[in-house]
Each structure stands twice: as structure tokens, then as C-alpha cells.
Structure 1
């Protein structure tokens, strides 16, 4: 049975805001239960999770924000965007919401890197993570196959490329990274573009793309954290994604002990959009397994 879509107009009306380091951040909260933090990818926003939002909220306190520079949140031009600051933002949001218990994390793409940093902080005693599931993303810099538009944004003329980036360019890019039978509709592309273009977002695309070299610098820290094996981890990955598909999962099995992975056939880079029913099934199975494996007192 297909999951119910939340139209972008309705999604935006449900948002709330708080101030992080002088910048306005839009966020969403629903449901009750154990806290589940959803972390979106580049260049989109938390609306990426809209198919999963209501089903997940039936069993969790679901929390998501548009990170700094994304979606409907502030997009300051005079700012150096950093994955570590985005992890600070997630922690500030949880503090704003008075969440004190361990947090489950479900992340995608750019959000995977933020989740990796939160996992590293967990082992440093600076964050409490109950579990983490990664969707398609560059968990390992050596397997991340940079898209052409990303290479151009990283170049010295990246600021020009960003300002010239438009809805047609987004359509071309998504047609290459979505699965052949699961590409977004014209209406969905309009909505994705609305979120990217909001607050003149194309002016900062060349700044946001700095996450790619940041991943390289932080690789050992993050891989070490994934290899600790104390926090339950799973990868749910669209197999035909040219950026971080089956080849990334193969590397994950080489590096992460007891690797728990799910490959989704014929699905590309956005499994939560392309195959939300499958993602929900595999995510809930993962969480159910954690409950069965944990001492009962830990979940009382």
C-alpha cells in the first residue's frame, strides 16, 4: 500500500522555528515515544521525509529540521558552512525540545556525514545515540562518485555555477541519480526546486558543497566510530545510485564489522522518495530487532 504524501504547502504550515547562533531554523516535530532524528541530504531539505513522516510518528517522537543553508531555514551568504556546525545544530534542536534520552537517527546523503559526527560524539560522551540508519550517502570518501554539478561547484567558478543553477539543471541532475523507474514527477521537481531556491539558496550552493573536502578530513574519525559496533547500525541503500549505490555498500562490508545492510533493487539515490514503503519496512524491522535484543529495563 502506498504511503500518503504530505504536500509541501501543508508541510510548511506545520513548521516551527528556533534561533541557532543568530540564525532562524525551521523544524518539525510529531508523534510520541522514543526520539527519532531525521537528517536530510544535499541539496534538498526535511520534506524529503514526508512519505515516512506520519508512519514513523506512530511509534516515535519524530524530529527534523532544515539545516542551516537548506530548505526554509536561514541561508546567510557571509557564512562558512561546516558539517561539524550542522551536528551542533542537531544537538541544539534536541536541547531546545528538552530531549534528554538517547536518540535514534535516520539520515541521508549529507545528513549521513552529520550522523557520523554525532556517532563519534556518542563515543566521546557528548551525545547519546540509541541507533543509526544510513540511507544513500558518502560514508567513505573513496567510494563517493562526485556528480558533475558537484565537481563544478567545487571549482574556482563554483559561485557562478551555483547562481546559474536552475530548475532544469535540477531535473537533469535528478534524472541521473534516481532509479530508472522512480524518477520524480514534474510537480515534485517544482517542490524540490522551491526548497532549494527559497531565501536565494543558489547563492550559497558553492559554499554548502564544502562538505565534500570536509568528509575527507574527518574520514578516520568517522570510520573509527562506525567500527566500534556498540551502537546498532544499518545501511538501507538504493542499489543503482551512481553516487553511493552498491559499490558503497561493498566498501561498508569491507570496513564495518558485522555489517547490516539492505540493497533496494532498481532504486537510486533517494530511497525515502523512490521506495518509501520498502524503507519503512526495513527500518521498522531494524528497530524491532533492537528491542528484542536489548534488556527490557533499557526500554521501560
Structure 2
């Protein structure tokens, strides 16, 4: 009997070894086209992937798109062309640790750093003195709120008399240290969508909880996560009538596996704890800013469920307008209902 188990063990060891080092899947033609249409710039020695398309000739407006977790800028592919017909420039990036950008490990990923990545991209593209419109989703919502906080802070410092400036700026020394600023962003408008901006109405998935909270399990789970587990997890946050196609699921998985991105998910997921720690900072600026705001919301979202999330948003963010999409639209509205998403966004832009 003992010999039987020894033989099974000897067979299983190489199989497990092979399984844990499965090479990443090849890029599909659609993903390859997206990749080849982009460029990279360097942020503190790391390569950051971005796309920058020039569009409408009669417009000077710029829109920057901030994607969610665990996917990439490819989330915006269904609305990219219509946006280029409306805006002079349409820009999207893969955050550090996502998509085609570098995925360093070990690394302490943070919302503050991702906001600095966006500021660095804006400086790289020569847009530091131009007003830009932000559109964000999920993880990108919190990055957008940090950018909004910095913008409001910068505007306030500009307006304060010198004495008050000295007092106020001295009180924000730690804030500046945390931010480690890399540029300046002038925000013309902000459109959020289905992000867990309120910790009290945010319900992360079980795997996310395990990855962010268990230092023992996380390294094992990140290696054991495979396409079937990923497909099930992502499929659960889409509506039953708006599920991605097999090809779309595969593109999401390919983007995650690129440069071993599955191995940094636990580090990136610390953003959930950061949202709780810095709630006053990010929710505070959202409730007090005069920058035009809009929320596009898929009400079937299990991560930010209806009606708790949208009721709290409307209660706290009274200056914002809101579009609630059809009842079958869930956590990825720009992919599940690109036409509805675009109509809502263009109505918002035209309103001011």
C-alpha cells in the first residue's frame, strides 16, 4: 500500500510543477490589435502601457479612461471608437500591475501610486495645463477620487493668501509625502461607474477577501487560480443576459496572465483596505467638490448592490447627476450596455 502512494506522489509532483508554471495564453487578434495600437512610457523605471487616439477635429476636449480590477484598458474597447468621434483625444492606460503594464513583485501597490501614474502620463503627453475629463470604473473610481482630491487641494493652495497657505500647507506635509506627486491634473469633469467608493456598501467576492486578508493562503491561491475559476468569478459580476462571450472571457484572462499578473492580485487587492482607511479623504472630496460629477450605474451589481449603494450615493453626493441603466445591467456597464453607457455619458457632457 505504501508503494502505491509513493508512485502516485512521484507522478503528481511533476504534474503539479507543470500546472503551476503554465505559460500565459497567446494574445487573440483583438487583443493583439489593442496592444499594437498602444505605446509605453516609463514611470519610476516601470513600463506603463497606454493608448492615445486623436479623434474629432472640431473639438479640443480630452477624455482619460480609468479601468477596474482585475482587468485592463481593454475594458473600454466597445466604446473607444464612439468616444473618438466626440473627443479630440481619447486616452486609456493599464495601471501598474494590470494588463500590458509592468507587474513588479514583491511590490506595495497603492491607490496613491496609481494616481501618480496617471499624473505622470498626463505630463508625458503634455497635457498638464489642459482640462481633462475623467471616466472611471470600479478600481479606477478610487484612483479618480485621489486625483480629484489632489486637484481640489492644488486649487485651494492657489487661492489661499500666503499666511494661510503656509499654515494649511504645513498641515498637509504627510499628505504630500504619501502622494509622491509626479505631475498635475486639471479636472474638467468626472464620471464614475460601479465602484466600491463606500466601504459600507461594498461586498467583495470571496476570492478577493481570501487574497487580500490571508498572507498564508494568498501565494497559493494566486498560483492555483486558473481560467475556469477566473471565468466563474468574472461571470458572477455580469448580468445573466449580458455575459461575455468565450472570446471575451479569454481576452480578460489573457490580460491578467500577461507578465504573470495573477501573482500580484493579492498585493493589488490591498486597495480595499486603503478605501476603508482613507474613506474620509476620498468620500469627503466627492461630497464637497464643485467639479461636474455623474454616476453611471448598473443596478444588478452584486459588488455594489442596489438599492443600498445608489441610495447612499444620492444622499451624500447631492451635486452629482445619476443614470441608472436597465435592471439587467450589472458591474461592467461599459461592456454590458455600451450604447446605454455612451448615451448617459454624452448627455452628462452636453449638460455643462
> TM-score, normalised to structure 2's length?
0.79
1:266 alignment partner in structure 2: 328
Contact 2:293/2:319, CA 8 A, preserved across alignment: no
1:9 alignment partner in structure 2: 32
> How far has the Cα of 1:196 moved from its partner?
0.1
Contact 2:230/2:253, CA 8 A, preserved across alignment: yes
SS of corresponding position for 2:351: helix
1:54 alignment partner in structure 2: 81
- Mapped partners of 1:34, 1:286: distance in 2: 14
Mapping for residues 1-300 of structure 1, pairs under 5 Å: 7-32=30-55, 33-60=60-87, 61-99=89-127, 100-125=129-154, 127-154=185-212, 155-156=214-215, 157-246=217-306, 247-264=308-325, 265-290=327-352
Contact 1:159/1:205, CA 8 A, preserved across alignment: no
Contact 2:152/2:289, CA 8 A, preserved across alignment: no
Q: State the structure with more CA Rg.
A: 2
> How far has the Cα of 1:42 moved from its partner?
0.4
Contact 2:203/2:302, CA 8 A, preserved across alignment: yes
Deviates more, 1:241-250 or 1:38-47: 241-250
- Mapped partners of 1:218, 1:52: distance in 2: 32
> How far has the Cα of 1:190 moved from its partner?
0.7
Runs of 4+ with >2 A deviation: none
Question: 1:141-196: per-residue Cα shift (whole Å, max 9, x none)?
Answer: 11111111111111221221112111111111122110110011111011000000
SS of corresponding position for 2:288: coil
Contact 2:132/2:189, CA 8 A, preserved across alignment: yes
- Mapped partners of 1:109, 1:21: distance in 2: 25
Contact 2:64/2:91, CA 8 A, preserved across alignment: yes
- Mapped partners of 1:48, 1:259: distance in 2: 24
- Mapped partners of 2:148, 2:81: distance in 1: 26
Question: 1:1-22: per-residue Cα shift (whole Å, max 9, x none)?
Answer: xxxxx92221111010110010
1:294 alignment partner in structure 2: none
Q: Which runs of 5+ in 2 are unaligned?
A: 1-28, 155-183
Between the two proteins, the alignment pairs up a number of residues equal to 285
- Mapped partners of 2:275, 2:131: distance in 1: 25
> How far has the Cα of 1:224 moved from its partner?
1.3
Q: Which runs of 5+ in 1 are unaligned?
A: 1-5, 291-300
